[in-house]
Copies of this chain bind each other. A is one copy, B any other.
Amino acid sequence: ELPFVLFGGMNVLESESLAMEVAASYQDVTEKLGIPWVFKASFDKANRSSLNSYRGPGLDKGLEILARIKEGFGVPIITDVHEPAQCAPVAEVADVIQLPAFLSRQTDLVEAMAKTGAVINIKKAQFLAAHEMAHILNKCREAGNDQLMLCERGSMFGYNNLVVDTLAFGEMKAMDVPVIFDVTHALQRPGARSDSADGRRQQVLELGRAGMSQGIAGLFLESHPDPDNAKCDGPCALPLDQLEGFLSQMLAFDQLAKSLPTLDIK
């Protein structure tokens, strides 16, 4: 089994200089640790709690920044799309396009994504069981795209809380697609602040270890040099200066998990 791929970056693009700073940190750490890396950032946060929440630089300006990061760092790009018309232009820059969790059942978006030929990262919605992801894989395949990944990011557990069901990793791996773990958003407490989601970034190491112990294809991670002042999802963001410490542990768990056999239990 291959080592894990890091889909690592930041939540929303704030400024180009900040994106460059974040990307530079990821490049340093991943080179040092030998972890394959894809840069992640969003150009638009399309479902913020408030109309006045910061949404990002938008499609055109966002793709420009992503293109410069791609070229400057020689790194593949992953970003998310929210409506069919965005898919083609985004896929000119992004190597992997991501289907957001809330939108994971929107047929037109799935179809438009599939037609780009890009790799598609499908976030498992907080309201879906692992076995239901088979339907979304089928939709993509019917639309002619078989370069698919599934991404765990937690399930609703009562109100305003998420829980990661460890058994979901195995159920999705059995669908024969790469399975990755969005440890950042799995730390969310949706709707738990008066105007936005809360999060538990202090516990990222715990959740990350559990995920990597499953022998998965990739890790999805968002960092920020100053999480308390991040423009979106700061409560879930890893402080950028913890990147090396965190990833070195993820690597160790990944290596151990993949060095050991599965057990054949009837």
Contacts and interface: CB of A to CB of B under 8 A. Distances in A.
A239 interface: yes
Contacts of A207: 166-167
Given A260-B249, A260-B252, A191 B142 contact: no
Given A55-B107, A102-B105, A107-B48, A266 B213 contact: no
B201 A265 contact: yes
A25 to B, nearest CB: 16
Interface of A: 46-52, 55, 82-84, 102-103, 105-108, 110-111, 125-129, 131-132, 135, 138-139, 142-143, 155-161, 163-167, 169-170, 190-191, 195, 200-207, 209-210, 212-214, 238-239, 242, 245-246, 249, 252-253, 256-257, 260-263, 265-266
The 5 A-B residue pairs whose C-beta atoms are closest, nearest first, are: A158-B158, A129-B159, A47-B105, A209-B213, A210-B210
Contacts of A155: 156-157, 159, 163
A50 B132 CA distance: 11
A86 to B, nearest CB: 11
A164 B84 CA distance: 33
A167 B164 CA distance: 9
Contact of A107 (B51, B158, B169, B203): B51
B82 A106 contact: yes
Contacts of A158: 157-159, 161
A161 B131 CA distance: 14
Given A157-B163, A239-B266, A253-B256, A129 B191 contact: yes
A179 to B, nearest CB: 12
B107 A166 contact: no
A163 B129 CA distance: 12
Nearest to A264: B242
Contacts of A201: 265
Given A129-B159, A166-B210, A51 B143 contact: yes
A213 B253 contact: yes
A56 to B, nearest CB: 11
